[in-house]
Amino acid sequence: MSKLLIHMAKNKFTICVAWMILVIPILAIATTSDVIYSPIIFILLVFYLRKERNYIFLASAVYGFFVFFPPYLHFIRWISFFIAGEIPLRECLEKIYSLLKVRSMTYFNPPSAIFAVLATPSIYLINLRNKFNESKWMKLEH
Amino acid sequence: MKETYLLIYTRYKFPMFLVYTLISTFGIFVQYIKNIAKEMSFLCFNNQIKLTPLSNDALSWIY
């Protein structure tokens, strides 16, 4: 944790920009493909970032996946075949991986990729600010 | 776990509802407008013609 990061996390404008970076792709997904699940994902992220958390990199990876692959429900169809017993698990995972690869190579969307990458530092900064705020509250209480 | 769930459900019920409805209605509105624009583009006369270097004849410019 460097001095620059602390200075950025204490600045309110930086945190506003970080929240904008998290909101804009959600709005873009809602206007293009997914209306139902993208707001739910955003609300879940907001409640996860309410206080200091430990697994922010996992959360940012999940959020990046949802941002980078908006029709993520397409990946579930192979799981239904696996549950029906038509294909083994290995083949199911291979199909999902090949679908992911094809989607990321043919329908590569640079803006969504940029936002998916920028989600990690913005979530980190928000978490850092929450940490400082919590310590401030602790000082006020004791 | 249960306490946080109850707190979220009691205190942040309306903001959640508000955020969800705002984002989803915005998305539905924009998709509806896009659909309307797509249907209206059939009225556009020159929309079907794609000019290529090979289609340089006079008729393709007139239509």
Q: What is the ipTM of this complex?
A: 0.72
Q: Is A28 on the interface with B (CB under 8 A)?
A: no
Average pLDDT over residues B4-8: 84
Identify the weakest region by mean pLDDT among A86-90, A121-125, B39-43.
Answer: B39-43
pLDDT above 80: residue B52: no
Instruction: Give the model's pLDDT for residue A27.
Output: 94
Cβ atoms within 10 Å, residue A30: 26
Q: Is B33 on the interface with A (CB under 8 A)?
A: no
d(CA A42, CA A22): 8
pLDDT above 70: residue B62: no
DSSP codes joined into one string, B13-62 = HHHHHHHHHHHHHHHHHHHHHHHHHHHHTTT-GGGS----TT--SHHHHH
Which among A17, A7, A12 is positioned nearest to A118, based on CA atoms?
Answer: A17
For residue A89, give how far its alpha carbon lies from the nearest alpha carbon of chain B (Å).
33
pTM: predicted TM-score of the whole model, two decimal places: 0.76
User: Which residues in chain B are contacts of A26 at CB distance < 8 A?
Assistant: 23
Tokens (6 digits) for B32: 């509806």
Least CB-CB distance to B24: which of A30, A46, A47? Answer: A30
What element of type H or E holds B5?
helix B2-11
B9-B11-B17-B20 Cα dihedral, nearest 10 degrees: -90
DSSP state at residue A73: G
pLDDT above 80: residue A4: yes
A47/B20 Cβ within 8 A: no
A42/B23 Cβ within 8 A: yes
More confident residue, B25 or A141: B25
pLDDT above 70: residue B11: yes
A31/B26 Cβ within 8 A: yes
CB A39 within 8 A of CB A28: no
Tokens (6 digits) for A46: 């907001």
Q: How confident is the model at residue A88 (pLDDT cuts 50, 70, 90)?
A: very high
CB B40 within 8 A of CB B57: no
Q: Is B18 on the interface with A (CB under 8 A)?
A: no
